Amino acid sequence: MVTVIWYATREQVKDALDQKETARANGKIDRAIGAATTSVEGLCHRTFYPEQASRSWDWPSGQSAPSWRLWLDGNELVSLNNVTSGGRDINLDDVLLRRSDGRDEPPFTFLELSLASSASFGGGPTTQRDITVTGTFGYRNDETLLGTHTGITSGATTLTVDAATSAEVGVGSLLRLDDERATVTARSMASTGQTLTAAVDAQMKTTTLAVGDGGAFAEGELILLDGERCRVDEIAGNILVVRRAADGSPIAAHDAATPIYAPRSLRLSRGVLGTTAAAHTAGGTVVRWDPPALVNELCIAQAITNLLQGAAGYARTVGSGEGTREAAGRGLSAIREDAYTAHGRKARARAV
């Protein structure tokens, strides 16, 4: 069960390890990703996912800032929906979103009131929680449009998606359905409605599968034939070019008319990050939130290191004699340095 927002998916870590699909392995991988996510956040001193929220500040706040400026400190802002002060709404046209390095893009680190306006902070009965900012907080809100779904009620937890979505999500993905965000906590096989139109043997060199409609699949999607998993690498008409025996599954022969399944049934944790579970009609789009590429890469690398160290009883070493040292991985250190340089919050939360 996903209890935090991850920066990598179970499938990404498994692909890197070519890990066999078992519930026991999944549990270990999930723990490693959770630990890696916490490590990334600790390294960079920030969270990256977008959260819809209302947060409040005292005013005057003792920030030693001009009366028209509010430093957000650790509450980095992606976009703004509403600002109130002293119980009054402030016109958003009078609010400027700024960041310390002067760039005009998220994450924004402070607000300023336009000096050309009459807007002002304060005036409430108390200084406590005088200013309330409502918006999307976080580092960035980079999203990818995937595909469509077959509809879901507000109380349901299982969503069936199309091939394009199936190929691009994994356990741990953060999705958006209209205004609702949800995390994928599990995937299960569902019928694609397709069957093999020709038998295949049990040889790794046999990498093509004939199907009734190649358009019913997507490159990168995992499919299931009997007990064998295959990854679709290319589609040529009604021929799927696949990698056989994926996820450590056993290769096997399959008869013509063998039903084909794919992990298009998603178990969701609904209404996360300040959003509300709602009904969504069939044919609606599925949008995936994407962490920064270096953050994603570091989370995968850290999770793999956690798994390998755990398998060795946290006693992996390299070298010999006086040169023996713990095998933490020089490659991992380089990725950590790059990720911190690109995305880490440095010494101060705001200027002084």
User: Do 283 and 155 lie in a common domain?
Assistant: yes
| Residue 337 in domain | no
Residue 308 confidence (pLDDT): 84
Is a pLDDT exceeding 80 seen at residue 324? no
Please name every residue paired with 260 in a beta bridge, in sequence order, or none if there are none: 194, 225
Residue 17 confidence (pLDDT): 81
What pLDDT, in 10s, does the model give residues 182-227?
999 999 999 999 999 999 999 999 999 999 999 999 999 999 999 9
User: Do 117 and 149 lie in a common domain?
Assistant: no
What pLDDT, in 10s, does the model give residues 33-50?
999 999 999 999 999 999
Band (323; pLDDT cuts 50, 70, 90) = low
Structural domain of residue 56, as residue ranges?
A: 51-137
Domain count, the chain: 2
| Residue 105 in domain | yes
**Which has more pLDDT, 105 or 335?**
105
User: Do 155 and 118 lie in a common domain?
Assistant: no
Rounded Cα distance, 229 and 262, in Å = 9
* C-alpha triplet 205, 211, 212: angle, nearest 5°: 165
| Residue 326 in domain | no
Q: Which token pair is 283? A: 């044919």
Residue 72 confidence (pLDDT): 93
The torsion region of residue 178 among left (phi > 0), alpha (psi -120 to 50) and beta comes to: left
Per-residue HEC secondary structure of the chain comes to CCCCCCCCCHHHHHHHHCCCCCHHHHHHHHHHHHHHHHHHHHHHCCCCCCEEEEEEECCCCCCCCCCCEEECCCCCEEEEEEEEECCEECCHHHEEEECCCCCCCCCECEEEECCCCCCCCCCCCCCCCCEEEEEEECCCCCEEEEEEECCECCCCCEEEECHHHHHHCCCCCEEEECCEEEEEEEEEEEEEEEEECCCECCCCCCCEEEECCHHHCCCCCEEEECCEEEEEEEEECCEEEEECCHHHCCCCCECCCCEEEEEEEEEEECCCCCCCCCCECCCCEEEEECCCHHHHHHHHHHHHHHHHHHHCCCCCEECCHHHCEECCCHHHHHHHHHHHHHHCCCCCCCCC
Band (127; pLDDT cuts 50, 70, 90) = very high
User: Do 174 and 131 lie in a common domain?
Assistant: no
Is a pLDDT exceeding 80 seen at residue 76? yes
Q: What is the mean pLDDT of residues 286-296?
A: 97
| Residue 25 in domain | no
Place of tokens 């040169």: 323
Q: What is the mean pLDDT of residues 231-250?
A: 95
| Least confident stretch, 5-9, 156-160, 268-272, 334-338 | 334-338
Answer with the one of 137, 168, 189 that is the final residue of a domain: 137
Rounded Cα distance, 332 and 23, in Å = 27
Answer with the one of 137, 158, 185 that is the final residue of a domain: 137
Query: Percent of the chain beyond pLDDT 90?
Result: 76
Residue 322 confidence (pLDDT): 60
User: Do 124 and 166 lie in a common domain?
Assistant: no
| Residue 87 in domain | yes
Residue 1 confidence (pLDDT): 43
Claim: this prediction has a pTM higher than 0.85: yes
| Residue 41 in domain | no
User: Do 150 and 79 lie in a common domain?
Assistant: no
User: Do 257 and 172 lie in a common domain?
Assistant: yes
User: Do 121 and 163 lie in a common domain?
Assistant: no
* C-alpha triplet 281, 284, 285: angle, nearest 5°: 155
**Which has more pLDDT, 164 or 316?**
164
User: Do 101 and 200 lie in a common domain?
Assistant: no
Q: What is the mean pLDDT of residues 249-269?
A: 97
Is a pLDDT exceeding 70 seen at residue 325? no
| Residue 2 in domain | no
User: Do 268 and 151 lie in a common domain?
Assistant: yes
User: Do 170 and 275 lie in a common domain?
Assistant: yes
| Residue 33 in domain | no
Answer with the one of 268, 289, 310 that is the final residue of a domain: 289
Considering the chain, what is the average pLDDT of its residues?
A: 90
User: Do 187 and 104 lie in a common domain?
Assistant: no
Is a pLDDT exceeding 80 seen at residue 71? yes
Q: What is the mean pLDDT of residues 328-340?
A: 73
